[in-house]
Amino acid sequence: VADIFSKEMRSIIMSKIKSKYNKLDMAVHNWLCGMKIRHKMYPKVSGSPDIVLLNGGKPLYLFIDGCFFHKCPKHYKRPKSNVSYWVRHIEIENVERDKKRETYPYEWLQIWEHEVRDGTFKYKIMDALREKDHG
């Protein structure tokens, strides 16, 4: 098979393949453990969320989305090479799939890669759990 991808792109693809048990998921997992928030990694429900929080009441599912692959409004930049591939893959397929989340029969929360990196995901989760308990 001819290698149609550049080195840079190959490493992006490989990191996507290895995205199960990736660093972002693990950072959130470690924080949840530290906070003693009951949760489970990679629950098997539609849409493949990354984590489900099981702190009483209804479960809350978390999607931890990479800024590149999920077209973060703050950080997504269209790659300079293989543009048609990426437009189809990210700007059409991934964005469409993410839109389907609106139809999932469960409560969920989106967490961006940059929120994991800067730590603000913690407040997002705490707020969501507080709302869930009192709303």
Which CB, 114 or 122, lies closer to Zn ion? 114
Rounded to a whole number of angstroms, the minimum distance from the CB of residue 112 to Zn ion is 5
**Which tokens go with 78?**
């269209």
| Strands 107-112 and 60-65, sheet pairing | parallel
Which CB, 29 or 114, lies closer to Zn ion? 114
| Nearest of 76, 33, 75 to residue 51 by alpha carbon | 33
Q: Is 34 exposed, middle or buried (0-12, 13-18, 19+ CB in 10 A)?
A: exposed
Check: CB of residue 24 under 8 Å from CB of residue 64: yes
Which CB, 34 or 73, lies closer to Zn ion? 73
Rounded to a whole number of angstroms, the minimum distance from the CB of residue 87 to Zn ion is 19
Rounded to a whole number of angstroms, the minimum distance from the CB of residue 22 to Zn ion is 15
The phi and psi torsions of 41 (rounded to 5 degrees) equal -85, 145
Which CB, 22 or 55, lies closer to Zn ion? 22
User: Could you list the residues that contact Zn ion (CB under 5 A)?
Assistant: 67, 72, 74-75, 112, 114
Rounded to a whole number of angstroms, the minimum distance from the CB of residue 63 to Zn ion is 14
